[in-house]
Chains A and B, each alone.
Chain A
């Protein structure tokens, strides 16, 4: 009982145990094959990106930050997402440059300049966030949070949320299907014709099911020992490796350079 694998407990509720087991096995195999960056380093990246934004750093530092913070995306094999974000940033930089060239003749360009500049300012945060959010596995995140002594009041909801997202999507599809069956809002645009009624038709079953799932999950989790006081073991362990410390050092250097060029 003390061997609480709360991740697996939550994971298996609502699905067959065979499916869950294969999923866990694949999870481990992938984790071993690739270099995983410690989730705490990615969170540090998010923090550094925010500090840089507040400091209004020089464009050069901003560019370096965007490039560096997109590295975890490449490492985790999300190169397409990374390239998309970098291309978006390049477009914003180009827009700013064009505005700076012509703004004296055309004052209304200030609106474009302000917007492009503002979004570019948020870009390090968005890249770091995408890296932290899409490349971290639920098990790693839980392990990292336990290492950081985050209270259970936060850890348990976070685990539940990550497991519940796919259920929401599936529920939504089924709700839309049965709405269509009853002749209400055949396609997406028809939802807007009677928005209040459409919203009611979607949110009420979604919440009804949410209460049922919450009950099921509670039973599953308690059966697997989530309520016990013992310190749970974790199937995945995260620890800081030399590369993680190096990445932290780079991030610290980035803040120092940013402060110098602010």
Chain B
């Protein structure tokens, strides 16, 4: 009886420690996403928002790699995605953010787990997948065309031409977004891994 209680408490304690670590790292990740969003909106204007996931991926590599190395178990990466999604939705971003930021991080968690949270290639691949979790907030950009066409039709204007032009633009934009995320996530992830060997291993904070 006492034995059982001790084991239960111990596993629970680890769970709490991991959750708090995840919370702290998610806070930093959220700040990075907010900075990326600010940069996109101010410097690149509304259409520049398509680069939001890419810029976030470029910057968040060290956060992701250190979290994975600190905890090395299934869960924290998924929780980081879900909680980020919650914060994004609560702060007025598109509700589907919650879906993308739950599904992609969960996949990323599985990939990292396959590499035991140590294999460099697996961590890099998992970071690329994780970075797609930030696609949610910019999905409404692809709804803008339909909304505009609807507003033109409401005024009795001919919208067929606009519809045609912007459906091409939309397709191209989607390709650019995906490519930018992959490239930036690879660079950001490699940078994160380099920071691991260069600073965090030496400082002994890998848990």
Contact = CB atoms under 8 A, between A and B. Distances in A.
B124 to A, nearest CB: 18
A142 B62 CA distance: 29
Nearest to A165: B27
Q: Determine which residue in B25, B70, B94, B191 has the highest number of CB atoms from chain A within 10 A of its CB, and name it.
A: B25
Interface in B22-50: 22-28, 30-31, 45-47
A201 to B, nearest CB: 11
Interface stretch (A53-61, A182-190, A231-239): A53-61
Contacts, number: 180
A118 B140 contact: yes
B27 A164 contact: yes
B20 A110 contact: no
B14 to A, nearest CB: 9
A251 interface: no
Q: Is the interface of A mostly helix, strand, loop or mixed?
A: helix
Interface string A112-123: 011101110110
A200 B59 CA distance: 10
B144 A114 contact: yes
Interface in B75-114: 75, 79-80, 82-83, 86-87, 89-95
B174 interface: no
B12 A227 contact: yes
B116 interface: no
Given A125-B92, A127-B92, A207-B28, A161 B205 contact: no
B33 to A, nearest CB: 12
Contacts of A245: none
B147 A121 contact: yes
Interface stretch (A21-29, A173-181, A212-220): A212-220
A130 B21 CA distance: 27
A207 B47 contact: no
A2 interface: no
Interface stretch (A30-38, A76-84, A152-160): A152-160
A87 B120 CA distance: 50
Given A114-B145, A210-B25, A217-B20, A157 B83 contact: yes
Interface of A: 43, 46-47, 49-50, 53-54, 56, 58-59, 96, 100, 103-104, 110, 113-115, 117-119, 121-122, 125-130, 132-133, 152-154, 156-161, 164-165, 168, 196, 199-200, 203-204, 206-208, 210-211, 213-214, 217-218, 221-222, 226-229
A148 to B, nearest CB: 12
Contact of B23 (A54, A118, A160, A196): A160
25 contacts: A50-B94, A53-B140, A56-B143, A56-B147, A115-B144, A117-B147, A122-B140, A128-B92, A132-B91, A154-B79, A154-B83, A156-B20, A157-B22, A158-B83, A164-B27, A199-B59, A207-B62, A207-B63, A211-B21, A211-B24, A214-B20, A214-B24, A217-B24, A226-B16, A227-B9
B97 to A, nearest CB: 10
Contacts of A210: 24-25, 27-28
A161 B87 contact: yes
Given A117-B147, A121-B144, A161 B83 contact: yes
A161 B154 contact: no
A176 B46 CA distance: 30
A168 B146 CA distance: 40
Contact of A153 (B75, B154, B191): B75
Contacts of A115: 45-47, 144
B195 interface: yes
A100 B155 contact: yes
A227 B46 CA distance: 45
B166 A114 contact: yes
Contacts of A217: 20, 24
